[in-house]
Amino acid sequence: MIKAFQLRLNLHQEGKPDGLLNKAAYDLDIDKSKIHGIKVLRKSIDARKKNIMFNYKVEVYINEPMPENSEYSFDYKDVSKAKPIHIIGFGPAGMWAALRCIELGFKPIVLERGKNVQDRRRDLKAINQDHFVNEDSNYCFGEGGAGTYSDGKLYTRSLKRGDVRRIFENLVFHGATEQILVDAHPHIGTNKLPKVVQNIRETILEFGGGVHFESRVTDFKIKDSKIVSIQLENEKELDVDKVILATGHSARDIFYLLDKKQIALKAKSFAMGVRVEHPQHIIDGIQYHCKGEPRNELLPAAAYSLVQQVNNRGVYSFCMCPGGFIVPAATANGEVVVNGMSPSKRNNKYANSGIVVEINAERDLYKYEQFGALKGLEYQKNLERLAFTSGGRTQTAPAQRLTDFVEGKLSTDLNDTSYQPGLKSSPLHSLFPKLIGGSLRKGFKAFGDKMIGFYTEEANIIGVESRTSSPVSIPRKETLEHPEISNLFPCGEGGGYAGGIVSAAMDGERCAEAACK
Per the CB < 8 A criterion, the answer to whether 310 and 446 are in contact is: yes
Q: What is the pLDDT of residue 480?
A: 98
- Mind listing the pLDDT tens digit for each residue in 233-266? 988 999 999 999 999 999 999 999 999 999 999 9
Q: What is the pLDDT of residue 1?
A: 86
- Mind listing the pLDDT tens digit for each residue in 8-20? 999 999 999 999 9
- Name the pairing type of β-strands 226-232 and 217-223: antiparallel
pLDDT band at 154 (very low <50, low <70, confident <90, very high): confident
Does pLDDT of 81 surpass 60? yes
60: number of CA atoms within 13 Å, CB side? Answer: 24
- Mind listing the pLDDT tens digit for each residue in 175-201? 999 999 999 888 898 889 999 999 999
Q: What is the pLDDT of residue 161?
A: 59
From 361, 472, 463, 360, select the one nearest 419 (Cα to Cα): 463
Q: Which residues contact 210 (CB under 8 A, 6 or more apart)?
A: 107, 108, 109, 110, 204
- Mind listing the pLDDT tens digit for each residue in 436-489? 999 999 999 999 999 999 999 999 999 999 999 999 999 999 999 999 999 999
> Average pLDDT of the chain?
95
Average pLDDT (494-501) is 92
Average pLDDT (30-44) is 95
Per the CB < 8 A criterion, the answer to whether 489 and 244 are in contact is: yes
**Percent of the chain at pLDDT exceeding 90:** 90
Average pLDDT (47-74) is 93
- Mind listing the pLDDT tens digit for each residue in 97-152? 999 999 999 999 999 999 999 999 999 999 999 999 999 999 999 999 988 887 66
- Mind listing the pLDDT tens digit for each residue in 314-344? 999 999 999 999 999 999 999 999 999 999 8
| Beta bridge partner(s), residue 317 | 355
Q: Kindly list the distances between the CA atom of residue 449 and the CA atoms of 306, 355, 460, in Å, as whole numbers in the listed order.
A: 11, 16, 18
Q: What is the pLDDT of residue 71?
A: 84
3-state DSSP of 450-469? HCCCCCCCCCEEEEEECCCC
CA dihedral 280, 283, 287, 290 (to 10 degrees): 70
Q: Kindly list the distances between the CA atom of residue 341 and the CA atoms of 72, 95, 127, 168, 206, in Å, as whole numbers in the listed order.
A: 30, 21, 16, 20, 31
Residue 21: Cβ-neighbour burial (10 angstroms; 0-12, 13-18, 19+): middle
Q: What is the pLDDT of residue 158?
A: 54
Domains and CATH numbers, the chain: 2-62 (3.30.70.2700), 84-264+474-516 (3.50.50.60), 267-465 (no CATH)
Q: What is the pLDDT of residue 160?
A: 54
Q: What is the pLDDT of residue 191?
A: 87
